[in-house]
Amino acid sequence: MKLLLFLSIGALAYSVGSGAVFAHDCCHHTCGNGYHGCDHCGSPMNSQNGTQSKESSPANRVVNLKTLEGKIVEVIYLPGVTPESGMVDVRVQTSNGANLVRLAPSGFLKQSGLRLQEGDAVTMEAFPVAAMKGDLMVAMKVHGNGLDVRLRDSSGQPLW
């Protein structure tokens, strides 16, 4: 009975728009906004039907790889299925302006030893994508606090 109540509450919460809280684990399974994988965090899956797509493939966006050098002005922790699966974004202030950059799940970053906070100087290689709410860049690798951490392989596939 308790399980049925829990599932009913979860289904209700999902149907009123908070499904992303329950299902946001980019690149591993269905995203809460109807995406199979997540175009905005580097998944090679097509956002509409869950198939490989040349248009949505990170390999096609990686050719637009840019180097960002600046300071972190904001760290954003997105909710995930578990605390360790929530994605981490950072806003990096460069000489050309601020850029929102998707990194990786918080658990992957912790495991790599990379601990970033506001004020830290970073250098990143990232490719731009159009996200649901504005532009976003997806980091391939990050250099910060004396560490070099690769987040995605040469085709843009996540390493977690």
This prediction's pTM: 0.66
Query: Same domain, yes or no, for 80 and 109?
Result: yes
In a domain, 72, yes or no: yes
Inside any domain, residue 140: yes
Largest Cα span, the chain: 58
Determine the pLDDT at residue 59: 52
Domain-embedded: residue 7: yes
Residue 105 lies in a domain: yes
Residue with more model confidence, 41 or 86: 86
**Containing domain of residue 13, as a range?**
2-41
**145 shares its domain with 88:** yes
Higher pLDDT, 59 or 93: 93
pLDDT at position 136: 92
Pair (11, 76) in one structural domain:
no
Going by pLDDT thresholds of 50, 70 and 90, the confidence category of residue 19 is: very low
Average pLDDT, the chain: 74
Domain count, the chain: 2
Q: Tell me: do 115 and 84 sit in the same domain.
A: yes
On the 0-12 / 13-18 / 19+ scale of CB atoms within 10 A, 122 is buried
Instruction: Report which of 119, 128, 62 is spatially closest to residue 101, judged by C-alpha positions.
Output: 128
pLDDT tens-place string over residues 102-129: 999 999 999 999 999 999 999 999 999 8
Does residue 52 form part of some domain?
no
Across 15-29, 64-78, 83-97, 109-123, least confident range? 15-29
> Is the pLDDT score of 58 beyond 80?
no
Percent of the chain's residues with pLDDT above 70: 59
Q: Quick one: pLDDT at residue 130?
A: 77
Q: How far apart are CA 149 and CA 90, in angstroms?
A: 15
Asked whether residue 81 is domain-assigned, the answer is yes
Q: Please tell me whether residues 102 and 145 are part of one structural domain.
A: yes
What is the three-class DSSP state of 127? strand
Within this chain, do residues 64 and 103 fall inside the same structural domain, yes or no? yes
User: 98 and 139: one domain?
Assistant: yes
Same domain, 143 and 77: yes
Structural domain includes residue 159: no
- pLDDT above 50: residue 29: no
On whether residue 48 sits in a domain, the answer given is no
Residues 141 and 72 in one domain: yes
Looking at per-residue pLDDT, the higher value among 67 and 133 belongs to 67
